[in-house]
Structure 1
Amino acid sequence: MQIIVSGHGKFASGIQSNIKLLAGNLPGLSFVDFTGEMDEQQLQDKFTALLKADEQALFFCDLFGGTPYKQAVLLTRQYPQIAVVTGCNVGSLLEICVAGDWQKSSPAELGEKFIATSKQATRMFHHRHVQTEPVDGDGI
C-alpha cells in the first residue's frame, strides 16, 4: 500500500521536505503538487501512474472539495479500494508512518487512523495564570 500526499501549490513537496527533515525518507509515500500550470487531467494522470504501481492507496489531500481531493475521489470509481482523507496534519502523517505497521492496514482503516490521530494532535496553547500572594509592603 502507498500514501499519496497531494494539494494545491507546493503543499505536497512542502510536507515532503518537512517529513524528510524530521524522519528521513519514509518508504511508501508519494508527493504530488497541483500547481497553477497544471489542469485536472494532468493531476489525474499523475495519480493514475502511481496507482499502476500499487492500487492499494490512501490519498492525503489538503482541502475537502479541492481539485486534488476531487480527482482522487473520481478515481475511487475505477479503484474502489483506495481511500481519500482531507484536513489531516503533518503530525498524523509522521506518527503513522514512523510506527511502520501502517502498510498492514486497508486504505479505509488507515484513513480512519489518520483522522483520529489528527484530532488528537490538534491543540491550542493557553497561558496558565499563576496566582501569587501579594508581597507585604515592608518586604516581609
Structure 2
Amino acid sequence: MQIIVSGHGHFATGLQSNIKLLAGDLPGLSFVDFTGEMDEQQLAAKFTSLLEKDDQALFFCDLLGGTPYKQAVLLTRNFPQIAIVAGCNVGSLLEICVAGDWQKESPTALGEKFVIVSQQATKMFHHRHVQTEPEDGDGI
C-alpha cells in the first residue's frame, strides 16, 4: 500500500518538504509534481510506474477535477483497487502517516479516513475580547 501525493506545480514536493521538516522521512509515500513542462501523458506514465511497483494505492491530489486527479481517475480502469482523494490537508497526511498503521487499510477505507481527518482539522480562529478588571483609581 502506498500514498501517491500529486498536484499542480510543486504541490507534491512542497508537501514532501513540509512533512520531512515536521516528521522526517515517512515510508510508503511518493510525491509527483505536475509542472508546466509536463503533459498529461507524462504524468500518467509516472503514476503507472508507481502503480506497477505496488497497485494498492491512495492518490492524495490537490484539486478535485484537476489534471492529477483526472489522470488518477483514468487509471482506475486498469487499477480498480486504487482510491483518490482531493482537497485534503497536510495535517491529515501527517496525522495518518505518523500513526504508522495506515498501510494495513484498504485504499478506500484510508481515503475515507483522510476526508474525515481533514474536515476535523479545518478550523477558523475567532478573536474574542478578553474583559479586564476596571481600575479602582486608588492605586492600592
Structure-1 residue corresponding to 2:116:
116
Structure-1 residue corresponding to 2:45:
45
SS in 1 for 2:7: strand
1:6 aligns to 2:17 (yes or no) = no
Structure-2 residue corresponding to 1:19:
19
SS in 2 for 1:80: coil
Deviation at 1:127, TM superposition (A): 1.8
Q: TM-score, normalised by structure 2?
A: 0.96
SS in 2 for 1:132: coil
Deviation at 1:128, TM superposition (A): 2.2
Structure 1: stretches of 5+ with no match in the other structure: none
Structure-2 residue corresponding to 1:106:
106
Structure-2 residue corresponding to 1:87:
87
* Aligned length in residues: 140
Distance in 1, matches of 2:138 and 2:104, equals: 69
Deviation at 1:124, TM superposition (A): 1.3
Distance in 1, matches of 2:11 and 2:92, equals: 15
| Deviating more after overlay: 40-49 vs 116-125 | 116-125
Deviation at 1:138, TM superposition (A): 4.4
Deviation at 1:137, TM superposition (A): 4.0
1:8 corresponds to which letter in structure 2? H
Structure-1 residue corresponding to 2:59:
59
Deviation at 1:122, TM superposition (A): 0.7
- Report Cα offsets for 1:106-140 as digits up to 9, x if no partner: 00000001001101111111222112233234446
Distance in 1, matches of 2:134 and 2:66, equals: 56
Distance in 2, matches of 1:22 and 1:98, equals: 10
Structure-1 residue corresponding to 2:69:
69
Distance in 1, matches of 2:20 and 2:136, equals: 55
Structure-2 residue corresponding to 1:127:
127
Distance in 2, matches of 1:3 and 1:71, equals: 15
